[in-house]
Amino acid sequence: MNTTLDTDLEVFSAAVRRELHDLGPDVIDELTDGLEADLADSLADGGELGDPVLYAAELRAAAGLDPRGRTRRTSDIDAAAKAAIAELRTEAAGFVSRHPLVRGVIDFFVALRPVWWVLRGWVLFALLNAPTMSFVPQNEIWWIPLIGLIVASVQWGRGRWLPWRWSRPAVVLLSIVSLLVLPVVVSATASIASQRYEVYPEPMYDGIMLNGQQVTNIFAYGADGSAMTDVRLFDQNGEPLSVVPDTWDANYNYDYMSGDEVIYVPSNEVAGTTGWNVYPLATILPGSIDANTDSVESWAKRTVPSGPFRSVQQLLDYEAPEVE
When pLDDT is averaged across residues 65-79 and rounded to a whole number, the result is 58
pLDDT above 60: residue 203: no
What gap in Å lies between CA 279 and CA 230, rounded to an integer?
Answer: 5
What gap in Å lies between CA 107 and CA 101, rounded to an integer?
Answer: 10
Q: Where are the alpha helices (DSSP H) in 161-249?
A: 167-196
What gap in Å lies between CA 125 and CA 147, rounded to an integer?
Answer: 9
pLDDT, greater one: 99 or 192? 99
How confident is residue 74, by pLDDT bands cut at 50, 70 and 90?
very low
What gap in Å lies between CA 127 and CA 142, rounded to an integer?
Answer: 13
How confident is residue 288, by pLDDT bands cut at 50, 70 and 90?
confident
pLDDT, greater one: 276 or 219? 219
pLDDT, greater one: 317 or 78? 317
Task: Identify how many contiguous H helices and E strands the chain contains and give both numbers.
Answer: 9, 11
CA distance to 3, 56, 124, 181, 196, per residue, from 93 (Å) = 11, 20, 33, 31, 50
Looking at the chain, the whole-number percentage of residues with pLDDT higher than 90 is: 0
pLDDT, greater one: 198 or 171? 171
Q: Which H helix or E strand runs over 213? A: strand 213-215
DSSP-derived secondary structure for 76-136: HHHHHHHHHHHHHHHHHHHHHHH-HHHHHHHHHHHHTHHHHHHHHHHHHHHHHSTTTT-SS
pLDDT above 50: residue 266: yes
pLDDT in tens, 34-44: 878 877 877 77
Q: Which of 83, 92, 113, 71 is nearest to 19 (CA)?
A: 83
What gap in Å lies between CA 242 and CA 216, rounded to an integer?
Answer: 9
**In DSSP terms, which residues pair with 282 in a beta bridge?**
265
Kindly report whether the global pTM for this prediction surpasses the value 0.85: no
| Polymer length of the chain | 324
Sign of CA dihedral 284, 287, 291, 293: negative
Per the prediction, the chain carries an average pLDDT of 75
Q: Are 3 and 97 in contact (CB under 8 A)?
A: yes
Q: Domain spans of the chain?
A: 3-108, 112-196, 208-296
pLDDT above 80: residue 1: no
How close are the terminal C-alpha atoms of the chain, in Å? Answer: 125
pLDDT above 70: residue 229: yes
pLDDT above 80: residue 149: yes
pLDDT of 5 reads: 62
Q: Which of 122, 155, 320 is nearest to 224 (CA)?
A: 320
Q: Which H helix or E strand runs over 6? A: helix 3-19
When pLDDT is averaged across residues 301-314 and rounded to a whole number, the result is 83
Chain centre to alpha carbon of residue 122: 13
pLDDT above 70: residue 163: no
pLDDT above 80: residue 259: no
pLDDT of 71 reads: 41
